[in-house]
């Protein structure tokens, strides 16, 4: 059975997947952040209960910090991974192709 992808295309596939993961994480986190805070504001305005605010503020703060961390952290980690892959891949392919080319050229000259 033969592989359907070329080895040189694999880094491009990984880089595009990382771009998608980063943008999806940011989008989902931003939407959840807006929804969470919108619900909190609506509940406070409808009930007008200060005790509710005092009881739930730590929970909403933790949720907001978690969403902020995933919304910014995951895209930053994906960017770092893409940068490393893009920086390492060309040098990796140059080193691995050089001995093969040298052997190929030597075989051509010997014949």
DSSP 68-101: HHHHHHHHHHHHHHHHHHHHHHHHHHHHHHHHHH
Whole-number pLDDT of residue 87: 86
| C-alpha–C-alpha distance, residues 110 and 62, integer Å | 71
The per-residue pLDDT for range 34-69, each reduced to its tens digit, is 999 999 999 999 998 888 888 999 999 999 999 999
Average pLDDT over residues 26-36: 96
| C-alpha–C-alpha distance, residues 53 and 55, integer Å | 6
Checking if the pLDDT of 9 tops 80, the result is no
* % of the chain exceeding 90 in pLDDT: 49
Band (33; pLDDT cuts 50, 70, 90): very high
Checking if the pLDDT of 109 tops 80, the result is no
- Asked if residue 26 lies in contact with residue 74, where contact means CB atoms within 8 angstroms, the answer is yes
Average pLDDT over residues 61-84: 94
Band (6; pLDDT cuts 50, 70, 90): low
Whole-number pLDDT of residue 14: 86
Checking if the pLDDT of 101 tops 60, the result is no
């Amino acid at each position: 059975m033969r592989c359907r992808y070329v080895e040189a295309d694999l880094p491009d596939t990984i880089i595009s997947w990382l771009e998608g993961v980063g943008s999806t994480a940011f989008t989902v986190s931003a939407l959840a952040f807006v929804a969470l805070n919108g619900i909190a504001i609506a509940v406070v305005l409808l009930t007008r209960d200060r005790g509710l605010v005092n009881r739930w503020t730590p929970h909403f703060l933790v949720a907001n910090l978690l969403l902020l961390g995933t919304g910014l952290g995951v895209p930053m980690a994906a960017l770092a991974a893409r940068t490393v892959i893009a920086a390492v891949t060309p040098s990796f392919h140059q080193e691995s192709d050089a001995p093969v080319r040298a052997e190929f050229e030597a075989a051509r000259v010997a014949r």
